[in-house]
Structure 1
């Protein structure tokens, strides 16, 4: 308790906290987009519940991982070497998560481009389209994003209380934003395709990171923000044309 009071009086600790909260919120965007797209495939009455459970699991997983920080840090130790790169458990987790995201985004893009051809689409399969299977997929990606998030947090501050507060704050923002974002994506088909493209890019980035190719996160999120801005301008232009056409009629 005394350590926490000392941290509260340290301006550097507050700067670290604000920085870490912002970083955790930004990193949570990837997870939130995935959860929104996946839960929108469920029956309407199950969507909000699935989002809440998925985000709650993300919180539990990240707090649990924070409790094993010493073990998490060891995940960056190389386990074997191949192609001139030492692969750690973190690398393998990122590569596995990236491959899953690329596969899922590709299948979803195919389904959106050709809705009639969904015989092999896992989303269209009743077995996979179940509530439990959706939660399992969310949990899988939660693990990937949580490991990456916690290792990044450990690199920014050595203080566990700051990490815990930052994680809780970021997940709270995710919880508040989940339904509005999912509803916005569902109501705008072009946004769905853009979000899937984001997932494809994020998956590719995870694979690259796992292979030892560092991709600055700022470039990724700047590209996402620019693409989103362009799409918003397109939506505004379409709505303006529709309003004008309505007046002419």
Structure 2
């Protein structure tokens, strides 16, 4: 309790908490966009349950990773090197996660662009039916990638576990409140899906780059995403005026 009171009296801790909450909310909304895209493929009566399960998994994964924060910190220790470039477990996780995001985004874009694509070349040439279990597995993998990125970000911004926990829980609450409105908005505006998949490609490429040591400041990434979202917003307004 004395430790918590000391933290509460420290202005730098409050500043770190505010910055971390902002970062976690942004990462959480990214996560939520892709949860919404995946669950919108389900029958309407299953969508809300799928989103709640996906958000619940995100919270469990983030808090679970926080409980192993000492191990997370050690993930930056090099474990092997190739051609003079040292790789840590963090690098390996980022590269693997980035490849998964790029694969997933490419698959979804392929389906959107070529609706009559026939057998799914990404699933061994077999037509893939959307099932509740399959969507939850995909959400779990996406949650894992975003959760690792979220916790590594938290560890880099503060050393205090209570601050990390508060920021993570706050971000997940925002996800929970925004889930249904965001999913409905995406369903009403199909072009948003392609924009979100473009974001997914960019984030995946960024994770791969960071895994290989090419750090890209997150501010640049989110500025590009905000600019793209603003342009799409203008396009939506233009289409509405044309229809009216």
TM-score category by the smaller chain? over 0.9
Structure 1 runs not aligned, ≥5 long: 244-249
Give runs of ≥4 in structure 1 deviating > 2 Å: 121-124
Matches within 5 A, 1:72-221: 72-120=72-120, 125-126=128-129, 129-221=130-222
1:124 Cα deviation after fit: 5.8
Q: How many residues align?
A: 241
Tell me, what secondary structure is at the counterpart of 1:81? strand
Name whichever of 77-86 and 64-73 sits farther off: 77-86
Structure 2 runs not aligned, ≥5 long: none
Q: Is the 8 A contact 1:111 1:118 kept in 2?
A: no
Counterpart of 2:237? Answer: 236
Name whichever of 26-35 and 58-67 sits farther off: 26-35
Flag the 1:45–1:124 CA change in 2: closer, same or farther, 3 A: farther
Alpha-carbon distance in 2 for matches of 1:231, 1:160: 38
Alpha-carbon distance in 2 for matches of 1:235, 1:89: 43
Per-residue CA shift, 1:218-240, capped at 9, x if unaligned? Answer: 11111110011001101101111
TM-score normalised by length of structure 2 = 0.94
Alpha-carbon distance in 1 for matches of 2:79, 2:31: 27
Tell me, what secondary structure is at the counterpart of 2:28? helix
Tell me, what secondary structure is at the counterpart of 2:79? strand
Q: Is the 8 A contact 1:72 1:151 kept in 2?
A: yes
Q: Is the 8 A contact 1:66 1:160 kept in 2?
A: yes
